[in-house]
Amino acid sequence: MSKYWSPAISQLTPYVPGEQPKVDNLIKLNTNENPYPPSPKVAEAINHYPKERLRLYCDPDATALKQSLATHFELPYNNIFVGNGSDEVLALAFMAFFRQDKPLLLPETTYSFYDVYCHLYDIDYRQIPLSDDFKIDLSLYDQPNGGIIFANPNAPTGRLTPLAAIEALLQKNTESLVIIDEAYIDFGGESAVELSRRYDNVLIIQTFSKSRSLAGLRIGFALGHEDLIAGLERVKNSFNSYPLDSIAITGAVAALEDVEYFNETTQKIIDCREWTSEALTQLGFDVIPSKTNFVFTRHASLSGADLMQYLRSNNLLVRHFSKPGIENYLRITIGTQQEMTTLIDTLKQHPSL
Amino acid sequence: MSKYWSPAISQLTPYVPGEQPKVDNLIKLNTNENPYPPSPKVAEAINHYPKERLRLYCDPDATALKQSLATHFELPYNNIFVGNGSDEVLALAFMAFFRQDKPLLLPETTYSFYDVYCHLYDIDYRQIPLSDDFKIDLSLYDQPNGGIIFANPNAPTGRLTPLAAIEALLQKNTESLVIIDEAYIDFGGESAVELSRRYDNVLIIQTFSKSRSLAGLRIGFALGHEDLIAGLERVKNSFNSYPLDSIAITGAVAALEDVEYFNETTQKIIDCREWTSEALTQLGFDVIPSKTNFVFTRHASLSGADLMQYLRSNNLLVRHFSKPGIENYLRITIGTQQEMTTLIDTLKQHPSL
């Protein structure tokens, strides 16, 4: 606290990201990172980038990356926005679209950065409960609002909301914007990108951090009608002209172009998720059906906090949220088959399992 | 324009960065980039960075870079903040400190991103005129305010404000924060970092884009009292947890540690600036005394816009601002000696010179 702070700053509750441990011997299943390295084409592209060019500003429009995304998604160039990770894209989108008189609607349990943005921009919001089995019921969002946001699949639950329900929402909710955070869509979900071609009231946000294994390079993007992208560009260019550095642009293009590697690694993660879900079920865990690179799970007779500690003491790092209603769940990232076998073997050795 | 935009968005006038031409045959003296490549240690560090680690999130605190900066400036670790270029650091600082009831004070002619931030955050501001020879007179800032910001040396004028005048301001202005944007301080200016050890009402912002030749890697930082840094961290962690990617952190540390290369290249630029200023003067130009890597200059009998066009038609790109009062000036980045010789030779061939 300082008398020099803007008055609103002392009210903020910043987002707390999952731990990035400084030690190397842990099996890290706590921040939904991809267990496989990025495409070898990324290393090649970064190593070949002429470093003497770093003296020059990067392209403020990241044209090369937007063109790659346009080709990849078969969308016009001006339907694409890029930013420094999907968190920055979300932060700019909240500013561009959700500072409205009516409240923003969002799920009660979802990505916990959303309400942080609301506090940052003084946006009124209403949390809509999930069903008992953690489904998002979009019919509950049919009420006056200044915008709607949800993650699909949702985090930390892993649940997918069907595209038909999303389209029904877009047909009804024509006076405000619907943002769909598809950070985990590539692990078996069906993207709403198709809907963005036909509806101007939906913005899709995706990331290179999960399915493209580039969490360390900070690349996110948004897809939607050109008027929405123009709104995002106005805010971005009033905040920071060059959020993507030249190396990040280069690495992202290389990752996007290696479709074969992407298909192979995402399929391995999907297969391992199914194996892990089955193995956890056999150990007496409830596993919420996941379409992501993590599972959300609890054991009927063990507390989430205790289980997390037990795993940590065995060098396995998983994520636990103390939030009421989900305090007995663990969110476990899908690692390699070997890592998940170690997880299951370790759980089997738990005295109560 | 779209009905989905937040109402304030249509009022924004985004910042327009200097052109990054897509052709290669231009001598680019328009965006104050360093003519020398970054230290060879940067390329080495980036090439050796294990690219498979990019699957992991970067360190959200950029600890390695903050530690390097702490060592370099002999400051405590918690007096240091880092961000995605000094533009992002400025954007976060305006949010953290300048949303006050009283107006922000800033020079009438200065870095044109400052009033863009004011519009973005709805901050009331008052522009204080420069003297006729473009000096910042800090005694004019002794009036009620919610904060003060200026660049030192100022841009686009290149003028340095003496440290004694800054200290006098800090002694009088104890109820609001003074931010000093030292983007160009390493080209012969005296930094206020020393003052930040003794005054808690000053924040210094610097960048790796100019003197460290890393405009393409996006690294900026702020130095000041730990309570100021804590305010910046609150905003940053409510906006984007990881603005600096792993490669940028690695490259920045390598650049900072190569003090010898830094000294050598900044001295070459300073020497060439003095040569260029003298040569322009001999051609009948007024040259504002510069402590930056650019000169701000006009010719008594030629319009700035015409001169810019003449240079552009000879493959020399310089910056011209159409703002009244400086519309006949050009801002010319100091390139290599060879580039500046070409500039002077080209000017000599102008029919009216």
Using the beta-carbon criterion (under 8 Å), do B234 and A14 form an inter-chain contact?
A: yes
- CB atoms under 10 Å from CB of A195, counted, come to 19
Which residues of chain B are within 8 Å of residue A9 when distances are taken between CB atoms?
Answer: 95-96, 231, 234-235
* A71-82 pLDDT per residue, tens: 999 999 999 999
Using the beta-carbon criterion (under 8 Å), do B7 and A100 form an inter-chain contact?
A: yes
Using the beta-carbon criterion (under 8 Å), do A5 and B242 form an inter-chain contact?
A: no
| Confidence at residue B1, expressed as pLDDT on a 0 to 100 scale | 81
Contact between B222 and B80 (Cβ < 8 Å)? yes
Which residues of chain A are within 8 Å of residue B227 when distances are taken between CB atoms?
Answer: 1-2, 4
Contact between B194 and B164 (Cβ < 8 Å)? no
The number of angstroms, rounded, from the C-alpha of B25 to the middle of its chain's C-alpha atoms is 26
- Min distance A345 CA to chain B CA atoms (Å): 25
Tell which residue, A135, A132, A191, has the closest CA to residue A167: A191
Contact between A46 and A37 (Cβ < 8 Å)? no
- Locate the chain B residue with the closest alpha carbon to A178: B4
The size of chain A, in residues, is 353
Instruction: Identify any residues that bridge with B180 across adjacent strands, giving them in sequence order.
Output: B150, B204
Which residues of chain A are within 8 Å of residue B16 when distances are taken between CB atoms?
Answer: 237
Using the beta-carbon criterion (under 8 Å), do B56 and A176 form an inter-chain contact?
A: no
Question: Choosing among B240, B265, B293, B336, which should be mutated to test the A contact, i.e. which has the most A CBs within 10 A?
Answer: B240
Tokens 């267990």, located at residue: A35
Using the beta-carbon criterion (under 8 Å), do A36 and B54 form an inter-chain contact?
A: no
In chain B, the domains with their CATH numbers are 7-37+260-348 (3.90.1150.10), 40-258 (3.40.640.10)
- Locate the chain B residue with the closest alpha carbon to A239: B91
Tell me the C-alpha distance between A204 and A195, whole Å. 9
For residues A303-328, one letter each, b for 16 or more C-beta atoms within 10 angstroms of the residue's C-beta and e for the rest, the string is ebeebbebbbebebbbbbbeeeebeb
B134: which residues sit within 8 A by CB, 6+ positions away? B109, B154, B157, B159, B288, B296
How large is the average pLDDT for residues A155-166? 98
How large is the average pLDDT for residues A147-169? 98
Tell me the C-alpha distance between A309 and B214, whole Å. 43
Of B3, B38, B238, the CB nearest to A54: B38
* A110-131 pLDDT per residue, tens: 999 999 999 999 999 999 999 9
Using the beta-carbon criterion (under 8 Å), do B88 and A239 form an inter-chain contact?
A: yes
Kindly calculate the radius of gyration of chain B based on its CA atoms and give it in whole angstroms: 21
Using the beta-carbon criterion (under 8 Å), do A42 and B59 form an inter-chain contact?
A: no
Tell me the C-alpha distance between A38 and A254, whole Å. 10
Sign of CA dihedral B322, B328, B334, B340: positive
- Min distance B204 CA to chain A CA atoms (Å): 14
Instruction: Identify any residues that bridge with A332 across adjacent strands, giving them in sequence order.
Output: A295
Going by the DSSP 8-state scheme, the letter that residue A30 receives in this structure is: S
Phi and psi torsions of B41, nearest 5°: -65, -25
Of B6, B215, B228, the CB nearest to A4: B228
Which residues of chain B are within 8 Å of residue A235 when distances are taken between CB atoms?
Answer: 9, 12, 120
Tell me the C-alpha distance between B281 and B258, whole Å. 35
Average per-residue pLDDT in chain A? 97
- pLDDT above 80 for A146: yes
Read off the amino acid at residue A248: A
- Min distance A199 CA to chain B CA atoms (Å): 12
Of A28, A47, A116, the CB nearest to B47: A47
Of B33, B98, B120, the CB nearest to A238: B120
- Locate the chain B residue with the closest alpha carbon to A14: B238
* A234-270 pLDDT per residue, tens: 999 999 999 999 999 999 999 999 999 999 999 999 9
- pLDDT above 90 for A219: yes
Using the beta-carbon criterion (under 8 Å), do B240 and A59 form an inter-chain contact?
A: no
Tell me the C-alpha distance between B161 and B158, whole Å. 10
3-state SS of chain B: helix, strand, coil percent to 5? 40, 15, 45
Tell me the C-alpha distance between A66 and A289, whole Å. 34
Residue ranges in chain B modelled with pLDDT below 50: none
Which residues of chain A are within 8 Å of residue B18 when distances are taken between CB atoms?
Answer: 57
Task: Please report which helix (H) or strand (E) contains residue A285, including its range.
Answer: strand A285-287
| Confidence at residue B22, expressed as pLDDT on a 0 to 100 scale | 75
For residues A159-175, one letter each, b for 16 or more C-beta atoms within 10 angstroms of the residue's C-beta and e for the rest, the string is bbbeeeebbebbeebee
| Confidence at residue B276, expressed as pLDDT on a 0 to 100 scale | 98
Tell which residue, A285, A290, A282, A275, has the closest CA to residue A336: A275
DSSP of B123-189 = --EEEEPPPTT----GGGG-S--SEEEEESS-TTT-PPPPHHHHHHHHHH--SS-EEEE-TTTTTT-
Contact between B248 and A245 (Cβ < 8 Å)? yes
- Min distance A154 CA to chain B CA atoms (Å): 20
Task: Please report which helix (H) or strand (E) contains residue B120, including its range.
Answer: helix B113-121
- How far CA A281 is from CA of A274, A311, B215, B293, in Å, comes to 11, 17, 52, 65
- Min distance A249 CA to chain B CA atoms (Å): 10
Phi and psi torsions of A168, nearest 5°: -60, -40
- 3-state secondary structure at position A193: helix
* B160-198 pLDDT per residue, tens: 999 999 999 999 999 999 999 999 999 999 999 999 999
For residues B233-254, one letter each, b for 16 or more C-beta atoms within 10 angstroms of the residue's C-beta and e for the rest, the string is bbbbbbbbbbbbbbbbbbbbbb
| Confidence at residue B170, expressed as pLDDT on a 0 to 100 scale | 98
Using the beta-carbon criterion (under 8 Å), do B51 and A46 form an inter-chain contact?
A: yes
| Confidence at residue A22, expressed as pLDDT on a 0 to 100 scale | 75
Tell me the C-alpha distance between B158 and B53, whole Å. 42
Tell me the C-alpha distance between B321 and B330, whole Å. 7
Sign of CA dihedral B154, B156, B158, B159: negative
Contact between B8 and B297 (Cβ < 8 Å)? no
A337: which residues sit within 8 A by CB, 6+ positions away? A268, A272, A275
- Min distance B24 CA to chain A CA atoms (Å): 12
Number of Cβ pairs < 8 A linking chain A and chain B: 273
Tell me the C-alpha distance between B143 and B56, whole Å. 50
- CB atoms under 10 Å from CB of B216, counted, come to 25
DSSP of A202-260 = EEEEEESSSTT--GGG--EEEEE-HHHHHHHHHHHTTT-S--S-HHHHHHHHHHHH-HH
- pLDDT above 90 for A6: yes
How large is the average pLDDT for residues A206-210? 98
* A36-91 pLDDT per residue, tens: 999 999 999 999 999 999 999 999 999 999 999 999 999 999 999 999 999 999 99
Of B116, B213, B242, the CB nearest to A238: B116
Which residues of chain A are within 8 Å of residue B58 when distances are taken between CB atoms?
Answer: 20, 215-216, 218
Percent of chain A with pLDDT over 70: 100
Contact between A69 and A256 (Cβ < 8 Å)? yes
Tell which residue, A106, A112, A152, A139, has the closest CA to residue A125: A106
